[in-house]
Every structure is written in structure tokens, then in C-alpha cells.
Amino acid sequence: MAKFAGYGEKRPLFLFITGRDPKAAKKVALIQNTAFKDERVALGAKFFRLAQVEADQITRSHPLYKIVGGRKLPRIVIISLDGKTHKKLEGRISAGRLFGAMKSIVRKDFKRSLGSFVNKMRKCLNELDKLESEKRRLENQKALAAKKGPKSSKVKLLAKKEALLAAKTKALGEKMKELLAWTVPPGEKTAKKD
């Protein structure tokens, strides 16, 4: 069971079970366009192995039918690493309910707060947006200053600002790498540094 839950990787399984009938297809599209696009859910997905399965692939004879089977479609089942804990959401699935189920499994398997991870990652992403905006503004200023000549005091000042901006961007990148290391299950090694 645990091997299935992580598909050979040590991550809990996030299983999206869909149906072929038009009624279910509309609900699938709604979930994909709302709950899955919620920033909390998108960031939290880094903790899971994601899979989508048609409901007709999971018959009553399937070994996991008791866990992943159900009455309504679409259905999301999140299974812990050991396969003993699972959260099942059926029918109308809101981003809030989905994120709550994800938090519960992350707390169990990673001993971490998914809410804290998402909040810290959001701050980093907002800071990255600001730095990218500042970079574009600086590039425009450099283009204008270059018209005055390469020895212009404005060009030198902008070069210093550019170096400072590069240092801030690098530091933010390191902070984001540290946060992403949270998504590695306990006992697993993180990827080697560049």
C-alpha cells in the first residue's frame, strides 16, 4: 500500500478521480479552474505525487477500492505515505476544503505546517515580483543613461544598483531553495546543490 501511495517515491499520493459523463466533466472543469488554480493548493501540491485516473479504472475488485472508491465524481483522495490515513473529497470540491485535507496529510507525513510553507513561499514570490519589476525599471534607466555615454555618473550608479539587485535576487533564490527542501519527506536526501 505505501509503495502505491508514493508510486515508488516517498511522497503522499494526491489522486484526482474523474468521470467520462458530461455532468462529471463539467465538475472536473470547475475544480480545475477554481480549486486547482488556488495559490495555496498549487504551492501545496509540491508535497505530493499527483495522478489523475478515470473512475472506471477503479473497479470493486481493485485492491484500493475501499480507499479510493466512492459515490460521486469528481473525487480527490489524498493518501498518506503509510497508506493508513486518507482524506476523500467528493462532488463539489472547494479550494478551502482541499487545502484543509492537504494540510492534514502534510502535518502527518512531513511534521510540517503546510500553511506556514505557503505563507513563506507567497512572501518570497511577492518579493521576487518586486525584484523583477525593479530589474525592468533599472534596465530602462540604463538604456536612457547609456545615451549620455558609458562614463556618465548615472551609468556607474545604476551598475551599483544592478549589483545590489543581483545579490538580493540570489539571496531570495537561496531562501526559496530552503523552503522547497521542506517538500522532501523526512529521511530523504535533498537534491545536490549546484
Predicted confidence (pLDDT) per residue in 164-180, tens digit = 999 999 999 999 999 99
Residues 15 and 102 in one domain: yes
Q: Looking at residue 190, what is its pLDDT? A: 55
Residues 94 and 150 in one domain: no
Mean of the per-residue pLDDT values for the chain? 88
Residues 91 and 35 in one domain: yes
pLDDT tens track for 94-125: 999 999 999 999 999 999 999 999 999 999 99
Q: Looking at residue 156, what is its pLDDT? A: 83
Boundary-marking domain end, from 91, 110, 129: 110
| CATH number, domain containing residue 28 | 3.40.30.10
Q: Looking at residue 3, what is its pLDDT? A: 41
- pLDDT band at 145, cuts 50/70/90? confident
DSSP code at position 179: H
Residues 38 and 78 in one domain: yes
- The full DSSP string for 140-169 is HHHHHHHTT-TT-HHHHHHHHHHHHHHHHH
Q: Looking at residue 39, what is its pLDDT? A: 97
Q: Considering only CA atoms, which of 191, 162, 188, 185 is closest in space to residue 47?
A: 185
Q: pLDDT exceeding 90 applies to what percent of the chain?
A: 61
Domain carrying residue 46: 2-110
| Three cell numbers written together for 139 | 534596465
If one counts the domains in the chain, the total is 2
DSSP code at position 35: G
Residues 73 and 42 in one domain: yes
pLDDT tens track for 37-58: 999 999 999 999 999 999 888 8
| Residue 26 reports pLDDT greater than 80 | yes
